[in-house]
Amino acid sequence: MHLAKYFWLICLFFAIPACATSHAPVILVFGDSLSAGYGLAAHEAWPDLLQQRLRHASTTAHWNVVNASISGETSAGGLDRLPVALLQHHPAIVILELGANDGLQGLSIEALRSNLTTMIHLIGAAHARTLLVGIRLPSNYGMSWNEKLQHMYADLAHQQHIPLLPSLLDGIETRPELFQADGMHPLAQSENQVLDNVWGELRTMLRDQAVP
């Protein structure tokens, strides 16, 4: 199992006090090109818009958003990168948005689930909470595959007792005019809707989060 590979790291996390830093708590966005802002200016991507919203939200504490997303990332690549990201940033919340590239590359849903499960365990061992973000692939990939993917995200979130955003692109995914020429990455004017999708789940976590 993947988790055994990272046993040493989990032990290290438990040795690190939860209050290891006095800085503002961190929200770590850990995803693929949909969160990295592919084809957009840096300030246009939804994680940057999230930071702006948090600065103006009177009902939340001060938070720092760190975007550690990489275009083309798969769940296997994310699992390899996550331990270092957790140790570097000490997040209080991790927005975990991976799976699209697994699907586009024809990788198995079972492997995706295994990788996500291990990442969720690592995040918990680092004293952080996970917001799991799902994705639906373009319709030409087939209704059956998307149904299996959505069921996997929902079942995993239920099993791990974590909040789930079923689809990052909810509200725009059936509107091709809101996407770049590749038909997969949102235009800049669509990023506010993407942020609203994330915010709907995240704001409850922010209210509940005990700030160091």
Q: Which position among 89, 127, 185, 190 bears the catalytic label?
A: 185
Q: Has 90 been annotated as catalytic? A: no
How far is residue 1's CA from residue 24's CA, in Å, rounded to a whole number? Answer: 35
DSSP bridge partners of 28: 66, 94
Q: How does 112-132 read in b/e, with b if 16+ C-beta sit within 10 Å?
A: bbbbbbbbbbbbbbbbbbbbb
Amino acid at 19: C
The half-sphere exposure of 136 on its side-chain side, counting CA atoms within 13 A, is: 20
89 is catalytic: no
- Among the listed residues 32, 33, 48, 127, the single catalytic one is 33
Spatial CB neighbours of 197, under 8 Å, sequence gap ≥ 6 = 165, 167, 168, 169, 170, 171
Is residue 182 annotated as part of the catalytic site, yes or no?
yes
Q: Which of 22, 144, 182, 208 is catalytic?
A: 182
Which residues are designated catalytic?
Answer: 33, 182, 185
